[in-house]
Structures are given as structure tokens and as C-alpha cells.
Amino acid sequence: MPIQAFEPAALVPVGEFRADFSAVRDAVPAITTGAAFPGLSTTTTAVDGASPDFAATLRQAIDRVNGLLHHADIQAERVATGDAAHLHDAMIAMAEAEIAMQITMTVVKKALAAYQEISHMQV
């Protein structure tokens, strides 16, 4: 069986795999301060000395996903230009970014479903 030529640009177009979570990151303060949910108490209590700062934790997670996506994009560009030392490093970076994005989208969907369920509750 003949081996076909490898064209990385056909697999991952440069610049196509980008995501920007700045809108989500900017919405975090409104959600955690209660501005997005009028009438709800925003009092938090730390459990076992843990920090109650949910906004910072969420912001860090979003920044980490953005970093993984950016790293995968850089690796794809290196493969496309022929500057990559190892193809498997680029593939691993893209797989990590894809999994992180899938997990992020699952969490967002679950959070929206929980919000919708809470908003339909009668008080």
C-alpha cells in the first residue's frame, strides 16, 4: 500500500481552531455578585477553610482552557510551516485542547440547565 503525502494544512487550517472566552470571563463578576440573579442572597461560607472566591476559580479555569487552545494553535502552525520538531507533540496539544473545550462546553451546558431549572421554580 503506497504512503500518501502528509499535508497538515488540510487537516488543521491555521487560525481556525480559536476560541475566545472573554465574554464568559467578563460575565463571571455579575454572576457571582448576584447582579445576574436579583433577589438571591450572595452570602457564601467557606468550608474547611477553603476560599469562597468562586469567580477567581472560574476565571482561572477559563484562562487555562484559553491557554491550551492557544498552545494547540501555535503547535498546528508549527506543523503547517514545518518548524515542529515532533508531530506527536502537536497532536497531543490539539487533543488536550479539544478535551478541555468539550469539558468546558459540558460545564456551561450544565450550568445553564441548572439556571433554567432554578428560574422555573416557584417560590
Whether the per-residue pLDDT at 10 is higher than 80: the answer is no
Look at residue 86 and tell me if it is in a domain.
yes
Domain containing residue 73: 17-119
CA 3 vs CA 10, 34, 46, 89: distances in Å: 16, 59, 59, 22
Look at residue 21 and tell me if it is in a domain.
yes
Residue 55: per-residue pLDDT: 82
72-103 residue pLDDT tens:
999 999 999 988 888 999 999 999 999 999 99
Whether the per-residue pLDDT at 46 is higher than 50: the answer is yes
Whether the per-residue pLDDT at 32 is higher than 60: the answer is no
Look at residue 55 and tell me if it is in a domain.
yes
Whole-model pTM: value is 0.55
Look at residue 65 and tell me if it is in a domain.
yes
Average pLDDT value for residue range 14-40:
52
Look at residue 5 and tell me if it is in a domain.
no
Number of domains in the chain: 1
